[in-house]
Amino acid sequence: MILQRTLENKTILWLQKSNQYLIVKPIVAEIISLLNNQVTKEEIITALSDKNSTTNHKLSVIIDDISKLLTTPSKEKPNNYLVKKPQLFQHQSYYKINDVIIHVHYSTEYERFLVHPKFAHLETSKPEGKIDSFHVYSNDQHISFSINNEVIETWLLKDVHFFQGKFSMKIVEHMHQKIEDEWLGVFHASAISNGISSMLFLGDSGNGKSTSLALLQANGFTCLADDFVPVAAKNKHI
């Protein structure tokens, strides 16, 4: 199943099979929908040639490229046993968010560099109470992390940003006691509130999200998040 919504001159698609969002031009969205409905290439060219100034040859190339993209099998995730959990971890930090305490063990300075700068402002001395234990470790090709001795996932080092996203998501899960399936999604955005409702500022890096947030904070608004904004599935709350 594919869901789509037009926004200004773009179309947002959600692909159920891969659980991915795509932002594409309307013609690309239409081709993807038609291919998904098993419409042949020739029928798509006929249907679109009268509605677009694009030549039939160019339409044919676009359809072929999209077909390849949709049929290319996703790469298998690395197996979790590819990284052996070390006995000794060189660094450790405690982070406190409200009443939630996270104890993170880093096998080397490299793993600490990937995580700590984002959460350094939450670091605290060893606290009392229930503590969740995170372990982050890697070898020359892969990186893994576990929570309370349960391996969460393993990634290739070239995909380390997926690890960083998952780590942040697990922090959010622990903060709000909601598993990943209870979140609608995570937006790369800034979020503000006036105490009644909230608003997101979305855009590429450098487009002014944080600047807008700072200006609004100076004028009575509250910062909910900057950069990483999860939205709950049930009530759509940020």
Q: Does residue 194 lie within any of the structural domains?
A: yes
Indicate the residue among 177, 206, 223 that finishes a domain.
177
Whether residues 61 and 114 fall in one domain: no
Q: Are residues 161 and 190 in the same domain?
A: no
Does residue 171 share a domain with residue 84? yes
What would the pLDDT profile of 152-205 be if each residue is shown by its tens digit?
Answer: 999 999 999 999 999 999 998 988 888 888 888 888 888 899 989 888 888 777
End-of-domain residue from the set 71, 100, 115: 71
Q: Are residues 134 and 91 in the same domain?
A: yes
pLDDT tens across 47-67, in order?
888 777 778 888 898 888 888
Same domain, 27 and 84: no
CA distance 127 to 103: 10
**Chosen domain end from 41, 71, 101:** 71
Work out the angle at residue 84's Cα, subtended by the Cα atoms of residues 78 and 73, and round it to the nearest 5 degrees.
Answer: 0
Q: How many residues does the chain have?
A: 238
Confirm whether 127 is domain-assigned. Answer: yes
Q: Which domain holds residue 123?
A: 80-177
If one counts the domains in the chain, the total is 3
238 located within any domain: no
Q: Same domain, yes or no, for 94 and 167?
A: yes
The owner of tokens 């944080």 is 210
pLDDT at res. 200 = 86
Residue-wise pLDDT for 68-114, tens only, equals 877 765 556 667 778 899 999 999 999 998 888 999 999 999 999 99
Do 87 and 167 share a structural domain? yes
Taking residue 103's Cβ as centre, other Cβ atoms within 10 Å add up to 15
Mean pLDDT, the chain, integer: 86
pLDDT at 170: 92
Q: In the 3-class helix/strand/coil scheme, how is 21-32 assigned residue by residue?
A: EEEECHHHHHHH
